[in-house]
Each structure stands twice: as structure tokens, then as C-alpha cells.
Chains A and B, each alone.
Chain A
Amino acid sequence: TQLLEQSPQFLSIQEGENLTVYCNSSSVFSSLQWYRQEPGEGPVLLVTVVTGGEVKKLKRLTFQFGDARKDSSLHITAAQPGDTGLYLCAGAEGYGGSQGNLIFGKGTKLSVKP
């Protein structure tokens, strides 16, 4: 069974600070997705990374997929209160035409205080 360790579990910072969230696994994933979830709502996709070593930027968010496709990080620059939420990483099993299951990390609950 593949596991995805996400850390930290909780993070409370002041507006303007930088932060990094990590997802690590001993297994290889075909792709890895980052989601953000607000209370009482479903997860919303932020990004999908597919290639080992891939870096994607989404405004102040930078996502990186490890060279071996076993780990990923999310870095937020100059965090704002609007970034508050639950961030989830999810690794996809399966390759090619296989629509594999997602293995979710436990999530990082981020709170950005003004």
C-alpha cells in the first residue's frame, strides 16, 4: 500500500511570511496533485505535476515534483490571509490509460493571520 506523508500538519503564520509544505513517499507516483479545501467544500485542484523534477508556478505558489517522483513540495511566498485553508497532496497510481486511484496525504491546515 502506498503512503503519502504530508508535513507539517498544522501551520500558523503571519501575513507576508513564506512557507513550505512537503509530501513524501517511498513509492513512485505517475503524477501528483495539490488541492486546496475550504471547510464544508470539496477539494479544488491547484496543480498536477507529472515529470520528475518538474516545477510549476501559480502566482505566489510554487510546486515541485521530486526527480524520482516520490516527493513533492508546495512553497507559498508572502502568504496572505486568503491563503488560509487545508492543502492536500495526492499521488496518482497507475500509468498509461489507467485511471488510477489517488492516495491522499493527511493535509496541512494553514492559517495566515493578518
Chain B
Amino acid sequence: GAVVSQHPSRVICKSGTSVKIECRSLDFQATTMFWYRQFPKQSLMLMATSNEGSKATYEQGVEKDKFLINHASLTLSTLTVTSAHPEDSSFYICSAIPTGGWSNQPQHFGDGTRLSIL
């Protein structure tokens, strides 16, 4: 149980392109999802917290106009990297917490999306 599906797994595109990444909770509902970015040989850095039906909360230094987050349903959050540039190339990972249940439930992670901007 608690499977999170992330799509696509890999994207290669030209500079200036906008890229949408989907994060789905397959067998549970998730009011809250998280988006992380991971650069090579580094740990996960939280970008934003996505809340169903409301605006996302962005971490300091993350441009909300560049990284658009939409959490329109209890099973889907999307991250759109707008006008992507080579410095946006990274490994993007989402996670989700099942709605309800006990307070210290762990986050369940997707398999990540490798974004390469040429």
C-alpha cells in the first residue's frame, strides 16, 4: 500500500520550455503533498508543500512563479517548471502523506523525475 506514482520519470527538453510533472497517490488520498529537488550527490531539499484546494506553501528562495504547483484533487499534485533553463536541471521528487490516520505517518515518495534542460 501507500504507492506514489510520479510521471514522467525523465524529461529532456530545450531551454525556455515549460515542463509539467505529475504526482499521484494511487491507493490513498493525500491532502498534503511535498515537492523536493535533489542535486547530484546532495540530499533532498524541500521546495514547497502542496495542499489540496489551496495555495502551495513555498520554501524560502523558491520562486512560486517559476515553479507552479496545483493540487486540484486528493490524489494528484502537479509541478510545472515554467520557462526552464539549464540551472533548473535536477531530480525532482514528490511525496505524500495519507489523509487522516496517526499524526506521525511517514511521507511516501515517488520515484522522481530527472529533468535535463539543454
Task: List chain A positions with a Cβ less than 8 A from chain B.
Answer: 6, 30-31, 33, 35, 40-45, 48, 50, 88, 90, 92, 94-99, 101-102, 104-107, 109
The yes or no answer to B54 lying at the interface (CB within 8 A) is no
Taking a contact as CB atoms closer than 8 A, the residue among B42, B44, B49, B106 that contacts A48 in the complex is B106
Interface size on B, residues (CB 8 A): 27
Task: List chain B positions with a Cβ less than 8 A from chain A.
Answer: 4, 6, 31-32, 34, 41-46, 49, 91, 93, 95, 97, 103-112, 114
When chains A and B are docked, how far (Å) is the Cα of A30 from the Cα of B31?
A: 20
Closest A-B pairs by Cβ, 6 of them: A42-B109, A31-B104, A106-B43, A42-B111, A104-B43, A107-B43
Known contacts A31-B106, A40-B112, A41-B112; 19 further A-B pairs (Cβ under 8 A): A33-B106, A40-B91, A40-B111, A41-B111, A42-B6, A42-B109, A42-B110, A42-B112, A43-B93, A88-B43, A90-B107, A97-B103, A99-B31, A101-B34, A102-B34, A102-B107, A104-B45, A106-B42, A107-B43
